[in-house]
Structure 1
Amino acid sequence: MPDIKMLAARDARNDLPAKKVLAMPERQWRVRASPSVTRSKNPIRETLASITANAPSTSKAVINLGLGDPTHYPLHAPPAAAMAAVNHALHSGRANGYVNGVGSAEARAAVVAYHERWDKVSYDISDIVLTHGVGQALDLVFSVMIPPASVEKANILLPRPGFAQYSALLANLDAEIRYYDCIEEQNWEVDLDMLNNLCDEDTRAILLTNPSNPVGSNYSREALEAILAIAEKHKVPIIADEIYGHMTWDGPFVPMASLSQSVPIITLSGLSKRFLFPGWRFGWVAVHDPLGVAIELKRGMAVWGNRFMGPNSLIQAALPTILATEAEWFNEVTDKIKTLAGIVYEGINDTPGLSCTAPQGAMYAFVKIASGAFPAFNNDVAFSTALYREEAIFVLPGMCFGAPGYIRVVLATPSDIMGEVMARIQAFSQRHFKE
């Protein structure tokens, strides 16, 4: 039987005036991007859009020397056997499924054979991780090597001038970026004292680009050995971005891993540049670890590889044939770039207010704009914008690479087009040059 007192108390409460319900503010949408997105912008793409926002004032055909795409004109026909191998993989019906996150055993074995053939460095397939181009290889290596800032302090050493994507990929990791200078008067080799002074107990890696984008240098064996000595002293591994490896003409290319007896070398390479397949987005990481001190890094890379389940399965199936491309084909490509380098070197150094060191490798010339020589333009962006507007020549300003006061010229056109480029740049410079 209900408790009469409790019922009475309940009825009494119900007779009380209702409490006033406070109106809650209307909720607003809060769909936001991380602040790291802004920091991760690629300055090359942004600058490209800025310079080309307005059409040239001339009727001359636009010549694009801004993006390092060797297929734009194109520079050279791709290896026929490589094309056939991809076609065979497609029509075989046996290359349509998922593959191991670090790449198939057959494809990684092909990378091992490639480096043995060209670099004279021995790897095991467990040292190889296949990636969606060198861009993703960089992202993978950075992500595995650099801890969150809330967990541990870390810094990484990057070259200046250097490839803009390095800092863009590091932006969301909150690592401290320290830049070491490359010295133009020394064929753009590294300022060794500066590199040594920048290393400390929080340095996770030294990144080295050889041959270099954007300056077209090819480091000597002695220069590389000096860098290795600094890395050994501070016990810091080297990330060797060698996507332009063996694309040299004034001296042999020396792979960093071929020199190291102790320092772990994390080599990045791929099909974009030397093989002229940038759109295939296929690269790899090769870890040379003579003392076995980078086991944890290799395990981490294997874990990270499974986040994306490896790159394109068709290219993986064709990779043994692609990487077996004959030396003669590579020589033809390199000879063409060498010819273009000569045209640009002579043309630029005959132009008032401009100069450049002789390119030795990769596919770039880095051109210096003499201070005060072009008073109509207050920086390299203004110079590049006016060159596009007046002469329909698109080049990237040096600020994209951490080196204001320069422009980068891509060496990937037919030689007659490059001759036309030099004629237009000289005409432009003569109009605006002031003693």
Structure 2
Amino acid sequence: MPANGTSEILKSKRSSWNVQISEFARSTRNLIREVVEGVKLEPNPEKPMIPLSIGDPTTFGNLKAAKETIEAVRKSIENRKHDGYGPAVGSEEARRAVAKYSFHQGHVSPNDVILCSGCSTSLDMAICALADRGQNILIPRPGFSLYQTLAVSYGVEVRWYNLLPERQWEIDLEQLESLIDEDTAAVIVNNPNNPCGSVYTREHLKKILDLAEKYYLPIIADEIYEHFTFPGTQHTALSTLSENVPILSCGGLTKRFLVPGWRMGWIIVHDRNNVFAEVRKGLAKLATRSLGPNTIIQASLPVILEKTPQSFFKSTTNFIYRNAVLAYDLLKDVRGIKPIMPNGAMYMMVGIDTDNFPEYPTEMLFVQDLVREQSVFCLPGTCFFYPNYFRIVLTVPEDLLREACIRIADFCENHYKLDKRVIENGGLQAVDLQ
């Protein structure tokens, strides 16, 4: 049909502007962003604001990238050899550097590595490669809300499996098993965990693998915090324990190297039995959607991964560990709340006994008033699909963390109401809150 004829048809069908967003855009929701934007942040003008909410270790300026890391990027920029496009899956040299760096995950070759624009993109690609519209994936609760954001956008159902606070946030394996059906495409295992700071033992990881093998379920291992473990705790990569379960391990520079804004992540394919033959091809195709990650950072990877000193990593981890101990010691005896000491990552979950805070039937209201009275902002458990808890970040300067915990304790003491209970006739009878 002539172009002018097509134009006439369009004019007859459209009488006004009516531009709709796509279903993909409509279904994309980031719960953390929605909750944070929905919280009424009205700090106490007499107290400086202390945000314990942001999972960015660079926010306060006290944690900075190593000079070796910065120098590697500077040289990559100055030599002007990396200003153009690179291979969609990442350059051979960069992928080889990641494979060498990841020796602790077992045998890894450059062909097992796909470079991505940050770990969030690696999670996005892993979910997209494994799950189709109408299928489901299993994600932890409490858990990183981005898993849901990414899956639901693709029309993939999310099913939450429970983590058990009384068992240091281990997975409730019986409940997890009850969620599996023929449409379950994968299970996401986050270890070390955000928001809980838990690190699973080898024995627990083996039980997870046994369950995955029983139902022929691939695993997406979110191991971005794999090197953030505290003294006395060791992280074990799932891939080193798996004989038959194929695993996509997602990681990156973001946390350990203190450069989240550089957006350099990766997927490592662990597949001893060639189950992922088609998945590998799918990941390569998905990589072409973005034409690969930042070439400057790619070119810097060999030096960054090899030359950044262990003393830098140890200093960062020890700082966060000391902060974890400090926060736990300051909060553990505060009436009405219960901190759970983490073993890794950068966070601590704190439980709220809402029975002792009748003014606040939800942790959202608790958090809002904590900001209003004490100018301390913590993320409510709703952000992680886990009510009656809040999360604090442990990367802030020690003096600010100490002050924040003192303010939290003061807030709890000011609003705590004792729930008295007396034993009568062998039973437990509740008495009015006073």
Deviates more, 1:73-82 or 1:87-96: 73-82
The verdict on how the C-alpha distance between 1:54 and 1:252 changes in structure 2, with shifts beyond 3 A counting, is: closer
1:145 paired residue among 123, 130, 135 = 130
1:127 matched to 2:109 = no
Deviations 1:6-40 (A, max 9, x none): xxxxxxxxxxxxxxxxxx79713221113443432
2:228 paired residue among 237, 247, 258 = 247
1:205 paired residue among 180, 186, 189 = 186
Partners of 1:74 and 1:412 within 8 A in 2: no
1:376 paired residue among 353, 356, 359 = 359
Question: Separation in 1 of the partners of 2:158 and 2:401?
Answer: 36
Partners of 2:225 and 2:345 within 8 A in 1: yes
Question: Separation in 2 of the partners of 1:38 and 1:344?
Answer: 40
Partners of 1:41 and 1:168 within 8 A in 2: yes
Question: Separation in 2 of the partners of 1:373 and 1:390?
Answer: 18
Q: Could you tell me the TM-score, scaled by structure 1's length? A: 0.91
Hey, what does 2:294 align to over in structure 1?
312
Q: Could you tell me the TM-score, scaled by structure 2's length? A: 0.91
- Counterpart secondary structure, 2:401: helix
The verdict on how the C-alpha distance between 1:215 and 1:88 changes in structure 2, with shifts beyond 3 A counting, is: same
1:177 matched to 2:164 = no
Question: Separation in 2 of the partners of 1:81 and 1:348?
Answer: 37
Question: Separation in 1 of the partners of 2:394 and 2:199?
Answer: 15
1:41 matched to 2:20 = no
1:90 matched to 2:60 = no
- Counterpart secondary structure, 2:355: coil
Hey, what does 1:64 align to over in structure 2?
51
Q: Which has the larger radius of gyration?
A: 1
Deviations 1:147-175 (A, max 9, x none): 233xxxx1111001000111011112111
- Offset at residue 58 of structure 1 (A): 3.1
Deviations 1:355-380 (A, max 9, x none): 02211110000000013111111201
1:347 matched to 2:330 = yes
Question: Separation in 2 of the partners of 1:176 and 1:84?
Answer: 44
Partners of 1:58 and 1:390 within 8 A in 2: no
RMSD of the alignment, in Å? Answer: 1.4
- Offset at residue 345 of structure 1 (A): 1.1
Hey, what does 1:290 align to over in structure 2?
272
- Counterpart secondary structure, 1:372: helix
Letter in 2 for 1:114: Y
Hey, what does 1:79 align to over in structure 2?
66
- Counterpart secondary structure, 2:314: helix
Question: Separation in 2 of the partners of 1:224 and 1:54?
Answer: 40
Letter in 2 for 1:49: E
Hey, what does 1:393 align to over in structure 2?
376
Q: Which runs of 5+ in 2 are unaligned?
A: 1-11, 419-434
Hey, what does 2:430 align to over in structure 1?
none
Letter in 1 for 2:166: E
How high is the sequence identity, in percent, across the aligned residues? 39
Question: Separation in 1 of the partners of 2:263 and 2:127?
Answer: 18
Q: Which runs of 5+ in 1 are unaligned?
A: 1-23
